[in-house]
Amino acid sequence: MLDLKFVRENPEIVKQNIRNKFQENKLGLVDEVIALDAELRSTKQEAETLRASRNKLSKQIGALMGQGKKAEAEEVKKQVNADSEHLAELELKEVELDKKVKNIMMIIPNIIDPSVPIGKDDSENVELERFGEPIVPEFEVPYHAEIMEKLSGIDLDSARKVAGSGFYYLMGNIARLHSAIISYARDFMIDRGFTYCIPPFMIRSEVVTGVMSFAEMDAMMYKIEGEDLYLIGTSEHSMIGKFIDTILPEASLPQNYTSYSPCFRKEKGAHGLEERGVYRIHQFEKQEMIVICKPEDSMMWYDKLWRHTVDLFRSLDIPVRTLECCSGDLADLKVKSVDVEAWSPRQKKYFEVGSCSNLGDAQARRLKIRVDGEKGKYFAHTLNNTVVAPPRMLIAFLENNLNADGSVNIPKALQPYMGGMTVIK
């Protein structure tokens, strides 16, 4: 959410940012919120003037009564009562206007970084850098679900009977591999100075609307019927929510955490072959990283975060690339974002396995996460990044470590987490 003062003083910048995100339907909101804000400030000023007048008149009543001037005191009382009624109307109007202003401000997108490429959608994202040599083996690489089935590692049919499509049973060594990757990612991030955390897996609506846009909320979140609780789509939600309505000493920054959680997502819409199996699912597990820092440090942390993910994938012999998200592919709260994509030998192309985002002070402003510094209080900056989400990581892992006989090599870094196993047969 933007600073209303910034919108008021820079309407053309805000409008151009909306155009850059190809959301022309929101252009009218800028003038509308500025007008509502002016009306709100005028109403508040009128209410303040009326309160001051009422207080002054109330004192006159006491003085008049002390002088025995009851008739005059009664006339002043009538004026005070009339002022009180009008003040009540103004206070109600304030609440209504404030709600309207807030609702619009929650929809106007954050100002993107000048370095973000302008484009309509993910087809116009820009490749930045490749890490590792993409290899296509001489033998045919099966679909990932087939690889798992041949290793007795997945049961999709039973999962459909139990929960419907978009769910799975992982079995045997594939299930163990899944847990090994999570544990390895946890220790990988701890070794890089991040504090490990297991957060709540459900959050209240005020946290949901604090960490994401309404469009994301509708597309992703499962609500618990009859309660003000939502299942998290990623641990970033509850980790950023941990700091709601807090004032952090500047000396305590940065706050950097690596968190584990199951994740639950609606994943609305129909999907093709490449999104069956365990590619796009309603339930998965994930190791995440979040940072809360000073504004001047957020871009430095942004570059650090995505590099952690690249380093982890490379330590497991998986080639990756980074892809800069264009303006039209950025969620409304994001200032800048980069996807990490892993190489798929079967598809002979890269696919998304993680995303790193700098949200500026948008989440902090919504959740009132402030910093107490030498020059006063200010809003923190927040960032998040996927360390690893094993369902998609499993696809990349299996395809890049597959042998012609159907066995799968276990890279040296992961062997201690697999009980010393060097290959899954």
Same-domain status, 201 and 249: yes
Same-domain status, 169 and 296: yes
Q: What is the pLDDT of residue 275?
A: 52
Q: What is the pLDDT of residue 270?
A: 45
Mean pLDDT across the stretch 397-418? 96
pTM, two decimals, is 0.90
Is residue 111 situated within a structural domain?
Answer: no
Same-domain status, 247 and 384: yes
* Single residue among 70, 105, 140 that ends a domain in this structure: 105
Q: What is the pLDDT of residue 114?
A: 97
- Pairing mode, strands 349-358 and 376-379: unpaired
* Single residue among 105, 138, 157 that ends a domain in this structure: 105
Tokens encoding 362: 């948008």
Reported as a single tens digit per residue, the pLDDT across 269-321 is 545 544 567 888 899 999 999 999 999 999 999 999 999 999 999 999 999 99
Is residue 141 situated within a structural domain?
Answer: yes
Same-domain status, 54 and 178: no
Type of residue found at 66: G
The fraction of the chain above a pLDDT of 90, given in percent, is 83
Same-domain status, 164 and 74: no
Tokens encoding 310: 């690249």
> Which segments within 154-254 are labelled E, that is strand?
154-155, 169-170, 195-197, 202-203, 222-223, 230-231, 246-249
Same-domain status, 206 and 349: yes
Same-domain status, 293 and 340: yes
Residue 97: which CATH number?
Answer: 1.10.287.40
Comparing CA positions, the residue from 373, 197, 207, 211 lying closest to residue 294 is: 373
Q: Is the pLDDT of residue 70 over 90?
A: no
Is residue 110 situated within a structural domain?
Answer: no
Strands of the sheet containing 222-223, edge to edge, are 202-203, 230-231, 222-223
Strands of the sheet containing 283-293, edge to edge, are 126-131, 320-324, 336-344, 349-358, 381-388, 283-293, 255-264, 195-197
Sign of torsion over alpha carbons 156, 162, 165, 169: negative
Same-domain status, 75 and 154: no
Is residue 56 situated within a structural domain?
Answer: yes
Confidence of residue 267 (pLDDT cuts 50, 70, 90): confident
Residues near 10 by Cβ (< 8 Å), separated by ≥ 6? Answer: none
* Cα gap 80→52, rounded to integer Å: 11
Mean pLDDT across the stretch 409-423? 97
Which of 14-28, 71-85, 278-292, 377-391 has the lowest average pLDDT? 71-85
* Single residue among 77, 105, 133 that ends a domain in this structure: 105
Type of residue found at 327: S
The whole domain housing 13 covers: 4-105
Tokens 């369902």 appear where? 391
* Cα gap 124→293, rounded to integer Å: 30
Reported as a single tens digit per residue, the pLDDT across 87-106 is 899 999 999 999 999 999 99
Is residue 24 situated within a structural domain?
Answer: yes
Tokens 């129909």 appear where? 270
Residue 349: which CATH number?
Answer: 3.30.930.10
Is residue 117 situated within a structural domain?
Answer: no
* Cα gap 362→111, rounded to integer Å: 9
Q: Is the pLDDT of residue 49 over 70?
A: yes
Is residue 114 situated within a structural domain?
Answer: no
Tokens 């996927």 appear where? 386
Prior bond of 262 cis (ω within 30°): no
Contact (CB, 8 A) for 398 and 148: yes
Same-domain status, 163 and 305: yes
- Pairing mode, strands 336-344 and 376-379: unpaired
Q: How many domains, in total, are found in the chain?
A: 2
Reported as a single tens digit per residue, the pLDDT across 365-392 is 999 999 999 999 999 999 999 999 988 9
Same-domain status, 181 and 240: yes
Is residue 297 situated within a structural domain?
Answer: yes
Same-domain status, 42 and 136: no
Same-domain status, 177 and 217: yes
